[in-house]
Structure formats: C-alpha cells, structure tokens
Chains A and B, each alone.
Chain A
C-alpha cells in the first residue's frame, strides 16, 4: 500500500498507524501524528487503520522562536 509520509511517497504493509510508525522507523520517538490533516493522538494509533493514498504527517520537536 502506498501512503505519503511527510510529503514523500512510501510503500508500507497494510495495518494500523502504530504498526506503520514502527515499520517506518519511528519506534520510541517523541513524535506527533496527523492523518489527512487530522491530529491522531497517541492513544488512538492502534485504532486508526491507514488506507492507500493516505497522507501521514509525523512531526517532532524542533528549534523555534
């Protein structure tokens, strides 16, 4: 299944958001997620199933003013 991760196309196996994050290399990272522009809280990552063509945003702390 193809999704868009942070603006770039990625191939992942079918499954929930939690599994996708592990597969994409974000295990144990301090991150927040949004699917198709909607925030997905950490405690809902197991319930959210990704679909072909979904846009996944993964953000983390960064310098800011």
Chain B
C-alpha cells in the first residue's frame, strides 16, 4: 500500500496506547507486522521523564511513526500539536483529529477541513480522521490530503463498521485515494470486512491492546487484513436474494 512517499508492506497500522506493559506493546507490534504505529504528545514531567523511555522503545522497533492530534477540540490546538509533533518525531506525517463531540468522539469535520488546509500548505502530509461523508472527503482532498481515514464506529467502541454503505460509496467515489478505516474495529472479522470492501488498510489500537492476549490478537489481525485484501482482489461473488443451487440439477436421477 502506498501512502504519500511510503510503500507500506502491511495494511495494518497499530496504535500504541492502552497495552498492559511496554513489553507486551513491543511484542504486539512485532506480531502485527505493522510498519506504522501511531503515537501522541503529552505533558512531560522532568522528574520521571516517562516520554523519553517510551520514545526509546518506539525507536527500537524500527517502524514509522504517525503522530496524532488526539484530544484536540479546536483548529488551533490541532495545528499547534502538529507543529510540536513534527519537531519531536522528525516526520511531516500527522494523523489529524479535531474532535467535535465528547461522547462519540466524532470528528468536527468543519474544523478538520480548516486545519487540514493550514497543515497541507505548511508541508505536512495529513492523515485526516473523518467520517464517511463524501462532501467532507472532497474538501479534504481539495485541502491537499492524499489519504482519508474514515471511522468505522466511535473510537474504542469495538462496534465494527457502522455504515458499510457509506464506506462502499467512498471506495467507489475515490478510487485512487488510499482509504484507511480508523476507529471502532473490535475483532479481526471487522478488519477483514473493511478490506473486502476495498478499503486499503485499517488502524487498530484498543481491539489489540485490550484483548486478553494482545500479542495473539495482533497476529490474528495481521491474518485478517491479509485475508480481506486477498478476497477483494479476487472479486467476491454478488449476493442473491434467492437460493441458487450449487450442485447441477441436470442429470438428477428420477427416484420417485
């Protein structure tokens, strides 16, 4: 999968939050095969310097980092956070989140488009966390985004794909744009479904981190994503409203 200047080997992107320990996080990233992990910025205490320890773990994994602007509710917060992330992580990639609703964590798509325009003009390569709204998607592309990250369901909910028709419409409309489902995926079958629909990838965090065995779940998601993409490439059959016998009726013995 090609996103911006990178050719990614895996269609699975992994978040680094909510794991039981740094050791489990490390093993889960390896098991997932992901070559991109998401990270964030938070206040650093000069006494425990916990961020420095976390950063050294991430660097040791040899993966690309995709910093996010999680928790930002305004354009200014998101843009400032993006600038800070570019300096700390040394990347122009930014997963742009401008949150509009505290309960559903739904993106504020108006603020998102505004922030995306500012950041794209400033040389960032923006990965916008958005809805499946086609008009918003068009405006994000006009702003300079070259990848879209529609939600599957509210962040951390594990509900799966709440609007399959909407995702399918996005795929049909933006055939050349990488689409990565971000948020809401709970189990590997949800990821498979997303890839079967023609999504280019999925970003998973909570579903792996909060599993009983995060490392085993990371492996399961890796397999699920491969299966879903292979199925999409192989062109699934069209569903039918009525039964269609798979065994030939010609030659059936007359036994009554």
Contact flags A36-65 to B (C-beta < 8 A → 1, else 0): 011101100000000000000111111111
B15 within 8 A of A: yes
B68-84 residues with Cβ-Cβ distance < 8 A to A are 68, 70, 76, 80, 83-84
Given contacts A25-B47, A41-B87, A65-B15, contact A59 B42 (CB under 8 A): yes
Cα A60 to Cα B81 with chains together (Å)? 11
Asked if B17 is at the interface (CB within 8 A of a chain A CB), the reply is yes
The tally of residues in A whose CB lies under 8 Å from a CB in B reads: 25
Residues of chain B with a CB closer than 8 A to A65's CB? 15-18, 38, 40, 68, 70, 155-156, 203, 205-206
Tell me whether A31 is interfacial, beta carbon within 8 Å. yes
Task: List the one stretch of B51-59, B112-120, B244-252 in contact with chain A.
Answer: B51-59
Interface 0/1 of B84-103, CB less than 8 Å to A: 11011100000000000000
C-alpha gap A51/B58 in the complex (Å): 36
Within 8 A of A (CB), among B122-163: 155-156
Given known A60-B41, A64-B70, contact A32–B46 (CB-CB < 8 A): no
Q: Does A24 contact B (CB under 8 A)?
A: yes
Which chain A residues border B68 with CB–CB below 8 Å? Answer: 64-65
Of B15, B47, B52, B205, which contacts A60 at CB under 8 A?
B52
Known: A29-B44, A32-B41, A42-B87. A61 touches B205 (CB 8 A): no
Q: Which residues of A contact B206 (CB under 8 A)?
A: 65
B254 at the interface (CB under 8 A from A): no
List, in ascending order, chain A residues with CB within 8 A of B16's CB: 63-65
Q: How far, in angstroms, from A7 to B16 measured CA to CA in the complex?
A: 26
Question: Are A62 and B46 in contact, with the CB atoms below 8 A?
Answer: no
Q: Counting CB contacts under 8 A, is B39 at the interface?
A: yes
Shortest C-beta distance, A31 to chain B (Å), equals 6
B83 touches A39 (CB 8 A): yes
